Amino acid sequence: MASSANAAEPVVAVERLGKRYRRAVALQAVSLTVPRGQLYGLIGPDGAGKSSLLKAVAGVLSYEEGAVRVFGKLIDSERAAEDVKARLGFMPQGLGLNLYGELSIEENVDFFARLRLVPAHEAAPRKERLLAMTRLAPYRERPMKNLSGGMKQKLGLVCTLIHAPELIILDEPTTGVDPVSRRDFWVILAQLIEEHRLTALVSTAYLDEASRFDRLALMHAGRVMAEGEPERLVRDARARIVELQADAAQPGPLEQRFAQIDWRANVARIYVEGDDDDSARRAVLDVVGPATAPHLAVRQPELEDVFVALLRAQDGVAIEPLRGLSAPAPRHASADAEHAIDARELTRSFGAFRAVDAASFGVHYGEIFGLLGANGAGKTTVIKMLTGILPPSSGLGRVAGADMRRAGQAIKERIGYMSQAFSLYTDLTVMENLLLFAGVYGLERRLAQERARWVLALGGLEGHEDRAASSLPMGLRQRLALGCALIHQPRVLFLDEPTSGVDPIGRRRFWAILQELAREQGVAILLTTHYMSEAELCDRLALMFAGRVVADATPAAMKAQLAAEQGQLLDVSTAAPAAALAAMRAAGFPGAVLHGRGIHVMAHDPRDAQERMRAALERAGLPEPLVARRELSMEDVFVHRILALEAAAAARTP
Amino acid sequence: MSRNRTWPRLDGSRARRWLRQVAALMVKEWRQLLRDRALFGFVVFIFTVDIMIAFGAPELDLHRSPVGVIDRDRSAASRDLFYRLRPPYFAASVLPEQEAQLERRLDRGELRAVLTIPHGFERDLVSGRPTDLQLTVDASDSNLSYLLASYVERITAAMAQEWHERRDAASGRDNREPVVLLQPRMRFNPTMREGWFSTISELLGMLTVAGILLPAAALVREKERGTIEQLLVSPLTPLQIVLGKVMAMTAVTLLGTLVAVAGVMHGWLGVPFAGSIPLFFAMVALFAMTAAGLGVTAATFARNSGQVGLVVLLLVMPITMLSGTWNLVEGMPPWLRTAIEVSPLRHFVQIAYGVLLRGADASEVALPAAKMALLGAVFFAAGVSRFRRQFR
Amino acid sequence: MTPKRVLALAGKEVREILRDRLYLMLAFLLPITLLVVFAYGMTSDVKNVGFVVVDEDQTPTSRDYARQFLASRHFRLVASGQDPALIDEVLRTERARVVLWIGPDFEKRLLARQPVEVAAHIDGAVTPPGRTIRAYLEAINAQANAIYQTNPRLAQADAGPDCCRQAAPPVRMETRFLYNPEVRNIVMVAPSLLMLVLLLVPPLLIAVSVVREKESGAIYNIASSTVSRFEFLLGKLLPAVMICMINAVVLWLLVAFYFGVAFRGSVPQFAFALLLYVLATAGLGLLVSAAVRTQQAAIIITTITAMIVATQFAGFFAPLDTAEPANRFLARLFPAGYFLPVVRGMYLKGAGMGVYWVELAALAVYSGVVLWLAHAFFRKRTKA
């Protein structure tokens, strides 16, 4: 019955799949089908069971209950799995971990081709095409271990595709990758799917990537909570988002009435249940008063809103409200005089390579300062120099008034640090970790207990005291790591990608803590993140590129500057985004970029731009697009700035 | 909480605080070791089962060694000699004259030796004329061949003695001779029980393995998982970080030794101990810390636990093989004798055998102990300084 | 099975090994270090051994007797005196391993043609060398007696020369040590070390290289592709066997030329035997790597097993004849027990394959069985 000719047959069909590891349940009654030629997404927080599901489909993990069919073949034994493996490609989790560090890009690709017995006359042209497409061709001699995160991820994709599989299974290919590289990756993937009629099953922890999928399943705690096309999921949510100008919002009463409010830089996005614009508007006006009506807009919820709502229902806990930080950070009299963190011409070279190049910035007490940049821009190196782990090659890093190169114990006691990825002791329990760090900071037993309880309460970790850190979901782990960095109540906090891989609810709780620390206790916080929605929440941002700080301003100022330079942001939605993008770029919109399933373009004269776009798409035989003006987001700013800088750098080096 | 709150001053003296920090790290190390199944299983194994296996090791002795006898005399005397080559040491068989098969049977290992009794053996023996017996021994296993030759020699000598005495008794002659009778006294182990020695030598080897591997693995694990950075930004000094591991693992080694010595060796296997047990444990602690210094240094050369395993192996093998646990250091070439002075085990061997079996007291082991402490200080300084530089 | 795929796997393996400097260094340095270290460590030559004389007689005869021992290279005088209390002190501190005690009437009794007892206190703590030392002392004493019995000065106390002929040893043993005429310890130890080192190194290298892929996740490339388990195992086995055969040859040369143990067998036949053995032990490494998940565990398990098997269950130090039946059975479970007689026989005795065909066949079957077991235990579709 297995026949690849039968196009109607789903490529993957999972029925009531159950999987357990010893006593821990990984998957329960999971059912889904992946039709041919689709980009199917598995979305959910860390520990939701995405990896287990993907491995079961790839035939590398056995399961106890239910059935997995791939190309119509029941995968219930190693032998059965072998029959379909020629037709699928699997890229496991972990950036470049399945590749061979000592081998070059080309050798990696060649190895995968030989492993898959691809005839040389097929492999060679395919390799060239894939390397060209991923723009890896110029680096083909470079050993894999020396690649940046984004490049590793693209190489992984090339290696997975070299035998021209019909189905590719990618496990969190974008985790830990910066927004620009991530975008790049999705564009390439979309192109490949279109050209080769590939079917792709991809998991991600980034909810904002959800809208890129043709179809998706939201997973949580081993179950599928919702499944279907993105549009249908939004429709089925039967809810509205009421956007309210932040200055008109009344946080207290609103939060009492509505469980899910997303506070952005200048708007509050309120999630209102009910499939009706008017009743949603009325529900909000009932709280804030009719006078605010002009400052209010009703929109369809985005996928992320829907997921948060679904997860919230599952967790049964209220989401921490995130206050907008549009008001300037409170400055203390003493703090004004002195920066908590002060980087002056900070430089660090590794051999000939300059990882950080004369970076200068300052952070006040009570301020949340975000360091943004692509993978390899030098963010982590800056933090390592400022925390005293790495001595600068030149320049000065002062923290709490002391030169970090000669920092003594007293200074280190004022610093808290959370390194990239999870760096606590996973084999210790929550309480053991906390008491360890209390001891490391020399706290006496009674005080240590007291602080541990304080951290447990702050991080919402009560009830998990005796769980091994390895068994915690990502969100809890990160709060535990933060707690360990806080146990000695530092005045300055360094957080390196603290929320990587954490689900949105977890991230919200995390940020609520950060805000409390900054606002209530005047802690200076320096952090890095790849989530641009988090960048919005920072008081100030510095953008790094190739080791240099290229911009340093508040999020609002950054947006305003971009708007002044490039004009109004237009969101173009169309049925065939890839083709439309090509057409638009050809028609004089070089800055057009893919955003979700739409295209973002900036223009000083929106009317004229709209006309030109229509014409361009018509010439290309594409349907008329839907164009809407949008507020600039930090993501737009980031992508625009980085692409411009990359283009400039490429122009300098011929 | 108020904005400008004054952060509580940490009370207690500096030294107490310093120790508290180290203690926190030690507790962490113990917890981690307990939860690392492979490593913990290994520690339990080396201090219990491994010692027992060593006790039951085969002894170097003859056991029904196959000896072929070519009897050209066919006399009462030659038959007497043949029957003296009996179990448990020998299993003698009469061989035919033709020697064609002999070589092959020796090659095959079916025979360990061939004894040829010449014509006129009995006649010569009775008349007191010297006779020549021929013994061909397979010396590919040299220890065994030596043993075999000396056993055969002793048996023939005893037989000749008996025949002479019988003859002399018959003739009434006086047979006193100027002879020096050497009385070998095996001190500290009079019955030459191999088990005593082998359990101690095994324990010394395993102490070295544990002493080096445990702190090295603990340190590399932090590097591998990135937790080291969390410690480096804390007010801990590199010395404290290293010391926390070393002290924790020294305690583990001491506990393991206690189980091995008191439980397995003394309690279960009945190995007697001559010297002061507290002195021995004090020395074990000193040795464990010295070895840990080596382990820390080794760990600074490795990036992951796989590498550290191989590096430790490269370090442990020469140390355990050449330090005199089972070999005579005196017999090694001079350059090697000098080189092995930097092995902490070389000095600990003298202390351990000295205290456990020979009943040496503190003053008698003071010199090796001082050398060991000196080595420990050097390794430690090297380890801590390399560790410090690696993160600078 | 597709040879092309095995080649691709093996080729990738070789490239990785060549570029991973630490691994490469260890792969070749480790076996050589082990061989040299074990060779020196296991040959307990009695040389330079600390020797103390407590001579209560203090006569020319007694001094002459003591000198007999020191004339050889075996013993080195570290102290002498008349106080018996010296005995315990020097032995306890390991300053000396032998104390020779000569009583007050030594010369008088000898001249009176009477037997006289002397005591040799030997350090028995380090037991096996102690036993060897005893044998040396006895041999030297026997030589001394032979001289006294023919010494005119001692003989003149009695009548004619007749008695001396009478006292000459009645039975002379003419011992011929086959294969190792000088009975050098190294001759026995060095070739056997090929067995030990090649029992430890191949499984170690192979287990580390397989488990490393498990740890990193690269194993999923194999698991999710059409590469068969057998192809994967062969791809790991071939490079490891290649490295280990190079090592085996280097070790062989070291034994023959550095340690000067003459090779008496046929070169191709011995090389073939080595290959069979390396295949078997490398196969063991595959078996270990199928069972464990971390490199650390792989190293610990292979090292402990190899050391215990080599020293206790292979007949290295003592022949298996004296071992318990259970131990003899355990010895059958590892290739070392089959290979030891082969290496001694082929290397030292110059025996051919015909003599050892049973053991060689056993090794061949063994490698097949181990490879099959590794194949059976290795899973592309795992439970966790």
Nearest 5 degrees, angle CA A45-CA A463-CA A48? 15
- Nearest CA distance, C382 vs chain A (angstrom): 5
Residues of A with Cβ-Cβ distance to C220 under 8 angstroms = 58, 60, 90, 92, 98
Look up residue A277 and give its two tokens: 């614009």
Would you say residue C48 has pLDDT above 80?
yes
Inspect the interface and report whether the beta carbons of B359 and C92 lie closer than 8 Å.
Answer: yes
C92, C131, C145 member nearest B364 (Cβ): C92
Query: What is the pLDDT, as a whole number, of residue B115?
Result: 87
Domains of chain A: 12-228 (3.40.50.300), 233-315 (3.30.70), 333-552 (3.40.50.300), 557-652 (3.30.70)
Q: B36 phi and psi, to 5 degrees?
A: -90, 100
- Are the beta carbons of A419 and B230 separated by less than 8 Å? yes
**Mean pLDDT of the C124-150 span:** 81
Q: Do C100 and C53 touch, CB atoms closer than 8 A? A: yes
In chain C, which residue's Cα lies nearest the Cα of B184?
A: C120
Computed over every residue of chain A, the mean pLDDT equals 85
Q: Residue B370: its pLDDT value, please?
A: 96
The predicted-structure confidence for A383-442, as pLDDT tens digits, reads as follows: 989 988 888 899 988 888 888 777 667 778 889 999 876 678 988 999 999 999 999 998
Output the DSSP codes for A483-507: HHHHTT--SEEEEESTTTT--HHHH
Q: Which residue of B has its CA nearest to C355?
A: B108
Strands A167-170 and A88-91, sheet pairing? parallel
Instruction: Determine, for residues A117 and C9 on separate chains, whether the beta-carbon distance falls below 8 Å.
Output: no
pLDDT for the residue C154: 53
| Residue C12 pLDDT | 92
Sheet holding A267-273, edge to edge: A261-263, A267-273, A239-245, A296-299
Q: How many residues does chain A have?
A: 654
Which range, B93-97, C92-96, C306-310, is most confident?
A: C92-96
Q: Does A365 touch chain B (CB under 8 A)?
A: no
Residue ranges of domains in chain B = 19-56+193-390, 65-171
Please state, as a whole number, how many other Cβ atoms lie within 10 Å of the Cβ of residue A394.
Answer: 10
* Mean pLDDT of the C79-85 span: 82
Min mean pLDDT across A364-368, A458-462, C238-242 is at A458-462
Question: Do the chains contact at A62 and C4, CB–CB below 8 Å?
Answer: no
B2 pLDDT higher than 50: no
* Stretch (H or E) spanning B100: helix B100-108
Of A137-146, B147-156, B196-205, C58-67, minimum mean pLDDT range: B147-156
C-alpha A161/C-alpha A155 separation (Å) is: 10
Q: Which residues contact A296 (CB under 8 A, 6 or more apart)?
A: A242, A243, A244, A245, A248, A281, A284, A285
**pLDDT surpasses 60 at C347:** yes
Average pLDDT over residues A100-114: 93
Query: Cα separations (Å) of B62 from B84, B133, B145, C321?
Result: 14, 21, 10, 8
- Interface touch C224/A117, C-beta < 8 Å: no
The pLDDT of residue A294 is above 60 = yes
Q: Which residues of A touch C230 (CB under 8 A)?
A: none
User: If you average pLDDT over every residue of chain C, what do you get?
Assistant: 85
Which pLDDT band holds residue B100 (cuts at 50, 70, 90)?
Answer: low
Q: Where is mean pLDDT largest: A332-336, A585-589, C204-208, C302-306? A: C204-208
Which chains are adjacent to chain A, needing at least 3 Cβ pairs under 8 Å?
B, C
B389 touches chain A (CB under 8 A): no
Please indicate whether, in this complex, the C-beta atoms of B310 and C30 are within 8 angstroms of each other: yes
pLDDT at position A335 over 50: no
Strands (E), chain B: 65-71, 90-94, 113-117, 131-138, 180-187
The least confident of A173-187, C203-217, C267-281 is A173-187
Please report, as a single letter, which amino acid is at residue C300: I
Q: For B85-91, what is the mean pLDDT?
A: 82
- Return the minimum-mean-pLDDT range out of A537-551, A637-651, B25-39: A637-651
- The ipTM of this complex is 0.83
Distance of CA C187 to the CA centre of its chain: 10
pLDDT at A71: 92
Q: Where are the alpha helices (DSSP H) in C151-228?
A: 152-155, 162-167, 185-216, 219-223
For residue A344, the surrounding DSSP H or E stretch is strand A341-350
Contact across the interface for A415 and B233, Cβ inside 8 Å:
yes
Residues of C in contact with A90 (CB under 8 A): 220, 224
Q: Where along chain C do its domains lie?
A: 3-42+182-377, 49-167
Between chain A and chain C, the number of residue pairs with CB atoms below 8 A apart is: 91
CA-based nearest residue in chain A for residue B11: A444
CB neighbour burial string for A49-65, b if at least 16 within 10 angstroms, e if fewer: bbbbbbbbbbbbbbbee
Q: Are A331 and A363 contacting, i.e. CB atoms less than 8 angstroms apart?
A: no
A424, A439, A484 ranked by CB distance to B24: nearest: A439
Ranges A300-304, C125-129, C258-262, most confident? C258-262
A361 touches chain C (CB under 8 A): no
Predicted pLDDT at A24:
81
Residues of B in contact with A498 (CB under 8 A): none
Q: Which two tokens stand for residue B48?
A: 């219990």
Residue A111 sits at the chain C interface (C-beta within 8 Å): yes
B217 CB-side CA count, 13 A:
29
For residue A73, pLDDT beyond 70: yes
Mutate to test the interface with C, among A87, A100, A109, A167 (most CBs of C within 10 A): A100
What pLDDT score was predicted for residue C165? Answer: 38
Residue in A82, A103, A114 nearest the CB of C226 = A82
Query: Is the Cβ pair A423, B229 closer than 8 Å?
Result: yes
**Stretch B123-150: mean pLDDT, rounded?**
81
**Rounded average pLDDT over A286-309:** 82
Count of CB atoms within 10 A of residue C145's CB? 19
- Residues of C within 8 A of A112 (CB-CB) are 221
Q: Verify whether the Cβ–Cβ distance B231 to A391 is below 8 Å.
A: no
CB C144 within 8 A of CB C68: yes
- Give residues with Cβ within 8 angstroms of B31, minimum separation 6: A427, A428, A432
**pLDDT score, position A432:** 94
> Does residue A336 register a pLDDT over 60?
no
Beta strands A267-273 and A261-263 are antiparallel
Query: pLDDT digit string (tens) for C253-307?
Result: 999 999 989 898 899 999 999 999 999 999 999 999 988 888 888 888 888 888 8
Contact C337, C361 (CB under 8 A): no
Distance between CA B32 and CA B40 in Å, rounded? Answer: 9
Instruction: Decide if A450 touches B, using CB distance below 8 A.
Output: no
CA distance A50 to A36: 20
| CA–CA dist B78, B116 (Å, integer) | 10
Who among B17, B28, B232 is closest to A442 (CB)? Answer: B17
Give the tens place of pLDDT for each residue, B361-380: 888 899 999 999 999 999 99
| Closest chain B CA to residue A481 | B230
Q: Calculate mean pLDDT across residues C212-218.
A: 87
Report the pLDDT averaged over residues B138-161: 81
Residues of chain C with pLDDT > 90, as a percent, come to 30
pLDDT band at C138; cut points 50, 70, 90 = confident
Size of chain B in residues: 392
Separation of alpha carbons B269 and C257, rounded Å: 44
Sequential DSSP letters for A511-544: HHHHHHHHHHH--EEEEE-S-HHHHTT-SEEEEE
Residue C252 has pLDDT above 90, yes or no: yes
Measure CA A441 to chain center.
33
Whether chain A has a CB inside 8 Å of the CB on B33: the answer is no
Interface test with A, best of C1, C381, C382, C383 (most A CBs within 10 A): C381
Selection from A439, A488, A429 nearest residue B241 by Cα: A439
Q: Which of B12, B28, B229 sits opposite A436 (nearest CB)?
A: B28
Q: Using CA of residue C336, residue C337, residue C342, residue C344, what is the dihedral sign?
A: positive
In this structure, what DSSP letter does residue C181 have? Answer: T
pLDDT at A7: 57
B65-171: what fold? Answer: abc type-2 transporter like fold (3.40.1710)
Tokens 């000669």 belong to A406
Residue B6 has pLDDT above 50, yes or no: no
Tokens of A556: 């609002």
Residues of C with Cβ-Cβ distance to A103 under 8 angstroms: 12, 15-16, 19
A90, C220: Cβ pair inside 8 Å?
yes
pLDDT above 70 coverage of chain A, percent: 93
How do strand C98-102 and strand C49-55 relate by DSSP bridges? parallel
B38 touching chain A per CB within 8 A = no
State yes or no: pLDDT of A381 exceeds 70: yes
**Mutation for B interface: C16, C21, C55, C92, most B CBs within 10 A:** C92
Of residues A169, A175, A171, A131, the one with CA closest to residue A149: A175
Q: What is the mean pLDDT of residues B198-223?
A: 91
CA C76/CA C96 separation, integer angstroms: 9
The overall longest dimension of chain B from CA atoms, in Å, is 119
Torsion angle of C-alpha atoms A457, A458, A460, A462, degrees rounded to 10: -20
The predicted structure's pLDDT at residue A337: 54
Mean pLDDT within A219-244: 87
Our CA angle for B115, B120, B125, nearest 5°, is: 85
The CATH superfamily label for domain C49-167 reads: abc type-2 transporter like domain (3.40.1710.10)
Residue type, A380: T
Does residue B370 belong to the interface with chain C, where contact is any CB pair within 8 Å?
Answer: no
Question: Using CA atoms, how far apart are residues A431 and B219, in angstroms rounded to an integer?
Answer: 22
Highest mean predicted confidence (pLDDT) among A310-319, C57-66, C308-317: C57-66
Are the C-beta atoms of residues B190 and B184 closer than 8 Å to each other? no
CB–CB contact C16 A100 (8 Å): yes
Is residue B300 within 8 angstroms of chain A, CB to CB?
Answer: no
Q: How far apart are CA C357 and CA C363, in angstroms?
A: 10
Q: Residue C364 — left, alpha, or beta (φ > 0 → left; ψ -120 to 50 → alpha)?
A: alpha
How many CB atoms within 10 Å of residue A520? 14
Quote the CA–CA distance of B3 and B25 in Å, as a whole number. 32
Contact at CB, C92 and B131, closer than 8 angstroms: no
Q: Is B268 on the interface with A (CB under 8 A)?
A: no
**Predicted confidence (pLDDT) per residue in B246-291, tens digit:** 999 999 999 999 999 999 998 888 888 888 999 999 999 999 999 9
| pTM (2 d.p.) | 0.85
C188: nearest CB among B142, B306, B358: B142
- Any CB–CB contact under 8 A between B202 and chain C? no
pLDDT of residue C166: 40
Using the Cβ of B185 and the Cβ atoms of chain C, whether some distance falls under 8 Å is answered with yes
Give per-residue pLDDT as tens, B304-363: 888 888 889 889 989 988 888 888 888 888 888 899 999 999 999 999 999 988 888 888
pLDDT category, B109, cuts 50, 70, 90?
Answer: confident
Nearest by CB: B227 against A409, A424, A439: A424
Whether A116 and C218 lie within 8 Å, measured CB to CB? no
Q: How confident is the model at residue C31 (pLDDT cuts 50, 70, 90)?
A: very high
CA distance A585 to A612: 12
pLDDT for the residue numbered A154:
87
| CB-count exposure of residue B134 (10 Å: 0-12, 13-18, 19+) | middle
Q: What does the pLDDT average to over A129-149?
A: 86
Q: Which of B13, B30, B228, B230 to mutate to test the interface with A (most CBs of A within 10 A)?
A: B230
Residue type, position B347, single letter: H
E strand or H helix at C173, and its extent? strand C171-178
